[in-house]
A = this chain, B = another copy of it.
Amino acid sequence: MKILVIEDEKELRKSVITYLSAEGYLCESAGSTKEAIEKIGVYDYDCFIVDIMLPDGNGLDIIKEIKAKGIEGGVIIVSAKNSLEDRIVGLEIGSDDYLVKPFHLSELNARVKSIVRRRNFAGSNQVVFNEITLNLDSREVLVNGKPINLTGKEYDILVYFISNKGRVIPKDSLAEHVWGDYMDNADSLDFIYTHIKNTRKKLIDAGAHDYIKTVYGIGYKFTA
């Protein structure tokens, strides 16, 4: 799950990122409208946290840009004043939520969670795929009702697979969603094999079928 935090106040940006990273999200940040629009153009995010007041422009314009590009990621507006007008405009142009500063990080986290879920799993916080059950709240994975231990990356991989089940997932897409800006210095994506292997092993050892099919030359497909 990749999130772009658009916020010019350094301290706040830092704490938001620290908090959300600890929750297992992949965070990137932009400190200005310009930087935000650049990043939006190049990378693929699942969620945007947008401060309205930015040094070089209005955050609402960034949201317009996101929507104009047809990007599906959710949008949470963050604003210093509880301006009804901003709020209405924000929702009109397609943002999903609105948060007034100062806010609790746990509150922000809850909203991010709900958006990411809505986007990937139609709002549910529990995802079932045959004998595999994901609990998105606790990042817990059950196989036949028994919990198994996955590392962070393994969990991310599984979530990405399940939210794209049945589709062929090119190794690059997987890398981008689980690891972030891999493109920049990607000479070898070989380490993915190791993670796939470990994920597979843990699932199989726990009694699940091997739903991860290898698509030679392209990537993988998670399918029953």
Residues of B within 8 A of A19 (CB): 172
Which of A126-134, A201-209, A215-223 contacts its partner? A215-223
> By the criterion CB–CB under 8 Å, are A104 and B183 in contact?
no
| Most chain B CB within a 10 A radius of its CB, from A42, A171, A221 | A42
Question: Complex: how many Å from CA A19 to CA B44?
Answer: 12
Could you tell me which residues of chain A, from 180 to 224, have a CB within 8 Å of some CB in chain B? 183, 215-219, 221, 223
Does A22 reach chain B (CB closer than 8 Å)? yes
Does A166 reach chain B (CB closer than 8 Å)? yes
Question: Complex: how many Å from CA A38 to CA B151?
Answer: 38
Distance between A217 CB and nearest chain B CB, rounded to angstroms: 5
Distance between A145 CB and nearest chain B CB, rounded to angstroms: 15
Q: Which single member of B43, B44, B168 contacts A139 (CB below 8 Å)? A: B168
| Most chain B CB within a 10 A radius of its CB, from A38, A173, A219 | A173
Residues of B within 8 A of A81 (CB): none
Question: Complex: how many Å from CA A23 to CA B223?
Answer: 19
Given known A110-B70, A138-B167, A168-B139, contact A38–B102 (CB-CB < 8 A): yes
Q: In chain B, what residue has the closest Cβ to A217?
A: B152
> By the criterion CB–CB under 8 Å, are A104 and B15 in contact?
no
Question: Complex: how many Å from CA A84 to CA B106?
Answer: 34
Does A179 reach chain B (CB closer than 8 Å)? no
Does A92 reach chain B (CB closer than 8 Å)? no
> By the criterion CB–CB under 8 Å, are A43 and B170 in contact?
no
Does A10 reach chain B (CB closer than 8 Å)? no
User: Could you write out 10 A-B pairs with CB less than 8 Å apart?
Assistant: A15-B183, A22-B219, A41-B100, A42-B102, A42-B103, A42-B104, A43-B104, A69-B104, A137-B167, A152-B216
